[in-house]
Amino acid sequence: MQIYIDGTWVNKEDAKISVFDHGLLYGDGVFEGIRIYGGTIFRLKEHVRRLYDSAKTTLLTIPMDEQEMAALLCDAVARNKKTEGYIRLVITRGVGDLGINPATCPKASVIVIVDDISLYPAEHYKNGIKVITASTRRNSPDAIDPRVKSLNYLNNIMAKLEAQQAGCLEAILLNREGKVAECTGDNIFYIRDGVLITPASDQGALKGITRDAVLEAAKEIGMETRATATTLYDLYTADECFLTGTAAEMIPVTTIDGRSIGDGKPGPATAKVRAAFQALIQKEI
Taking only the tens place, the pLDDT of each residue in 153-170 is 999 999 999 999 999 999
119 has pLDDT over 80: no
> Measured between alpha carbons, how far is 240 from 184 in angstroms, rounded to an integer?
19
Q: What is the pLDDT of residue 285?
A: 87
> Measured between alpha carbons, how far is 32 from 91 in angstroms, rounded to an integer?
9
149 is catalytic: yes
Where are any strands of DSSP class E within 21-71?
29-37, 40-41
From edge to edge, which strands make up the β-sheet containing 8-11?
A: 8-11, 2-5, 109-115, 85-92, 29-37, 40-41
Which residues make Cβ contacts (< 8 Å) with residue 234, sequence separation at least 6? 180, 190, 192, 197
122 has pLDDT over 90: no
State the pLDDT confidence band at 87, using cuts at 50, 70 and 90: very high
Which CATH topology does 122-284 take? Answer: D-amino Acid Aminotransferase; Chain A, domain 2 (3.20.10)
Q: What is the pLDDT of residue 244?
A: 97
CATH 3.40.710.10: does it fit domain 2-115?
no
pTM assigned to the model: 0.94
Which is catalytic among the residues 82, 149, 160, 179?
A: 149
For the chain, the structural domain boundaries read 2-115, 122-284
State the pLDDT confidence band at 118, using cuts at 50, 70 and 90: confident
